[in-house]
Amino acid sequence: MAATLCVRLLRDPARNFIRAYRHYRIKDISANNCKPGDKVNVKGWVKSVRKMKGNLFVDVNDGSDANNFQLVVNKEKQFDTAYGSSIEAFGVLVASPKNQLELHVDNLNEIGKCPLAEGFPFYPKKSYPPEYVRNHLHLRSRVSSMCSTFRLRHEATRAFNEYLVQGGFVQIHTPVLTSNDCEGAGEAFLVKPSNEQLLKSMVKDGVPLEHGYFDRATFLTVSGQLHLEAMSHGLDKVYTFGPTFRAENCKSNIHLSEFYMLELEEAFMDSLEELADRVEDLVKQVSKCLLERSATDLSIVRKLTTDDPLEKAFEWMEKPFPRMNYDEAIRILKANQSKLKSSVSVEEGINKEQELFLVEHCQSPVFICYWPKEIKSFYMRENKQNARLVDALDLLVPHVGELVGGSVREDSYDTLLLKIPTTDALQWYLDLRKFGSVTTAGFGLGFERYLSWLLNVHNIKDVIPFPRWAHNCVM
Amino acid sequence: MAATLCVRLLRDPARNFIRAYRHYRIKDISANNCKPGDKVNVKGWVKSVRKMKGNLFVDVNDGSDANNFQLVVNKEKQFDTAYGSSIEAFGVLVASPKNQLELHVDNLNEIGKCPLAEGFPFYPKKSYPPEYVRNHLHLRSRVSSMCSTFRLRHEATRAFNEYLVQGGFVQIHTPVLTSNDCEGAGEAFLVKPSNEQLLKSMVKDGVPLEHGYFDRATFLTVSGQLHLEAMSHGLDKVYTFGPTFRAENCKSNIHLSEFYMLELEEAFMDSLEELADRVEDLVKQVSKCLLERSATDLSIVRKLTTDDPLEKAFEWMEKPFPRMNYDEAIRILKANQSKLKSSVSVEEGINKEQELFLVEHCQSPVFICYWPKEIKSFYMRENKQNARLVDALDLLVPHVGELVGGSVREDSYDTLLLKIPTTDALQWYLDLRKFGSVTTAGFGLGFERYLSWLLNVHNIKDVIPFPRWAHNCVM
DSSP string, A48-103: EEEEETTEEEEEEE-SS-SS-EEEEE-TTS-----TT-EEEEEEEEEE-TTS-EEE
B444 to chain A nearest CA, in Å? Answer: 18
Query: What tens digit of pLDDT does each residue of B208-263 get?
Result: 999 999 999 999 999 999 999 999 999 999 999 999 999 999 889 999 999 999 99
CB contact under 8 A, B465 and A227: yes
Contacts 24+ apart (CB under 8 A), B160-163: B160/B241, B160/B262, B160/B282, B160/B286, B161/A158, B161/A161, B161/B241, B162/B289, B163/B282, B163/B285, B163/B286, B163/B289
Q: Closest partner residue to B25 among A140, A168, A248, by Cβ?
A: A168
Q: How confident is the model at residue B32 (pLDDT cuts 50, 70, 90)?
A: confident
Between CA A120 and CA A70 the distance in angstroms is 23
More confident residue, B315 or B185: B315
CB contact under 8 A, B179 and A257: no
Residue B85 CB neighbour total at 10 angstroms: 22
Residue pairs spanning A and B at CB distance below 8 A: 362
B435 near A CB under 8 A: yes
B435 to chain A nearest CA, in Å? Answer: 4
CB contact under 8 A, B436 and A172: no
- Identify any residues that bridge with B245 across adjacent strands, giving them in sequence order: B258
CB contact under 8 A, A189 and B191: yes
CB contact under 8 A, A187 and B195: yes
- The three state secondary structure string of A6-44 is HHHHHHCHHHHHHHCCEECCHHHHHHHHCCCCCEEEEEE
CB contact under 8 A, A428 and B194: no
A322 near B CB under 8 A: no
Query: What tens digit of pLDDT does each residue of A70-115 get?
Result: 999 998 888 989 999 999 999 999 999 899 999 999 999 999 999 9
Q: Average pLDDT, whole number, for chain A?
A: 94
- Identify any residues that bridge with A69 across adjacent strands, giving them in sequence order: A60
Q: Closest partner residue to A214 among B151, B273, B471, by Cβ?
A: B471
- Bridge-based pairing of strands B238-245 and B258-267 is antiparallel
CA nearest B430 in A: which residue?
Answer: A138
Contacts of B298 (CB under 8 A, 6+ apart): B148, B152, B290, B291, B310, B454, B455
B143 to chain A nearest CA, in Å? Answer: 8
B231 to chain A nearest CA, in Å? Answer: 5
Q: Is the pLDDT of residue A440 over 90?
A: yes
Q: How confident is the model at residue B124 (pLDDT cuts 50, 70, 90)?
A: very high
Between CA A274 and CA A281 the distance in angstroms is 11
A229 near B CB under 8 A: no
CB contact under 8 A, A227 and B466: yes
Q: Is the pLDDT of residue A120 over 60?
A: yes
- What's the DSSP call for residue B63? S
B426 to chain A nearest CA, in Å? Answer: 8
pLDDT for A4 equals 40
Half-sphere exposure of B344 (CA within 13 A, CB side): 20
- Residues of chain A contacting B201 with CB distance shorter than 8 Å: 249
CB contact under 8 A, A186 and B202: no
A142 near B CB under 8 A: yes
Q: Is the pLDDT of residue B374 over 50?
A: yes
* The residue count for chain A: 475
B196 to chain A nearest CA, in Å? Answer: 10
Q: Average pLDDT, whole number, for chain B?
A: 94
A213 to chain B nearest CA, in Å? Answer: 6
Please tell me the pTM assigned to this model: 0.95
Between CA A131 and CA A140 the distance in angstroms is 12
Contact map slice: B 204-223 vs A, CB within 8 A: 204, 213-220
- Residues of chain A contacting B178 with CB distance shorter than 8 Å: 473, 475
B120 near A CB under 8 A: yes
- Find out whether B211 and B143 touch, Cβ atoms under 8 Å: no
B48 near A CB under 8 A: no
CB contact under 8 A, A436 and B63: no
Average pLDDT over residues A437-452: 98
**Backbone angle region of A239, left / alpha / beta, with phi > 0 → left and psi within -120 to 50 → alpha:** beta
pLDDT for A30 equals 80
Average pLDDT over residues A252-257: 95
- Find out whether A367 and A393 touch, Cβ atoms under 8 Å: yes
Q: Would you say the ipTM is above 0.90? A: yes
Q: Is the pLDDT of residue B4 over 50?
A: no
B369 near A CB under 8 A: yes
Q: Is the pLDDT of residue A10 over 70?
A: no
Between CA A282 and CA A443 the distance in angstroms is 12
Q: Using alpha carbons only, what angle is made at residue A241 by residues A237 and A247, rounded to the nearest 5 degrees?
A: 130
A194 near B CB under 8 A: yes
**Most B-contacting residue of A113, A140, A141 (CB-CB within 10 A), to test interface:** A141
CB contact under 8 A, A63 and B219: no
pLDDT for A1 equals 37
Between CA B398 and CA B378 the distance in angstroms is 29
- Residues of chain A contacting B176 with CB distance shorter than 8 Å: 176, 220, 243, 245, 258
B383 near A CB under 8 A: no
Between CA A86 and CA A63 the distance in angstroms is 12
